[in-house]
Amino acid sequence: MKIALVGIGKIAVDQHVPAIAASDDWELAATVSRHGSVEGVEAFDDFDAMLAARSDIRVVSLCLPPVPRFEYAAKAIRAGRHVMLEKPPGATLAECHMLERMAHAHGVSIYATWHSREADKVSAAKKWLSDKTLNSLHVTWKEDVRRWHPGQEWVWEPGGMGVFDPGINALSIVTEILPDDVHLKSAYLDIPSNKQTPIGAALEFVHPTGAAVTADFDWRQTGDQIWMIEAVTEQGTLTLTDGGARILIDGIEDAVQSENPLHGEYPNLYAKMARLVTNGGVDMDLRPMVHVSDALALGRRTAVEPFYE
């Protein structure tokens, strides 16, 4: 199937373009970007012009920042195109619900992707936890914003989510691997005095059986980057590290390779999008975004030192 990639920035170049190129399901037929392009692929700088000129392109993958994404997705759906949304799927929950309703009304597929759910050991963690009694779960997600979002000022503006841009990756894993849903109890947010969104966050959740579920997010990490989830159960302790790429049970690493032949988060996402389009499916799981929205609503804000690149 022919697909158009909209927003040719770092994530598109690093992840989306290679995943599409390696897939037997997709042909990258066009790009839309004010500044970027992909060699050998027809490039547009206007989305409406692409939709008008390329009626043969059935699917649009949106890699734009979350704030402008709704307008592009709505235009694509009205034009009868299937839509794939980079995470987070939008700037607000209301617009995500609207897009899902529009997709159903126009008979097209829409997919809110969560790439961290496709990390190699996430499915194994979900299976292991499925019959365990949870005592506690703690997320430690600490990285250097200068390394991963250099010069991307939109992350500090309303709708950019700040540290929840990576933190939502952790929440997407937690909502996938826990057998029971949790909801937010409290949040503490560190806001740089010259920014609009948090650079650090501490979250506490309510679990239906009383297990302690907490998370610490920080964008000021130097040195080693930490993407870890530890779940303590009455039957043992599970630890996911490296963003879900490695799993340890009671400190012993499971080195068994995944049976999934795709070997990669974004190849898995594009394979699922192909299935959704083929079968007429919709996947708009918004649970990770609900937690972020709740944190921004309930969070106690503390002003911290200004942040500069």
Tell me the CA distances in angstroms from 201 to 79, 213, 265, 297, 302, one per residue in order.
Answer: 40, 14, 26, 13, 10
Q: Which residues are catalytic?
A: 87
Asked if 85 and 259 touch (Cβ cutoff 8 Å), the reply is no
**SS3 assignment, position 214:** strand
- The reply to whether omega before 88 is within 30° of 0 (cis) is yes
Task: Give the closest residue to 280 by CA, choosing from 60, 103, 89.
Answer: 103
**Alpha carbons 164 and 166: distance in angstroms, whole number:** 5
One-letter amino acid at 103 equals: A
In eight-state DSSP terms, residue 2 is E
**SS3 assignment, position 156:** helix
**SS3 assignment, position 278:** helix
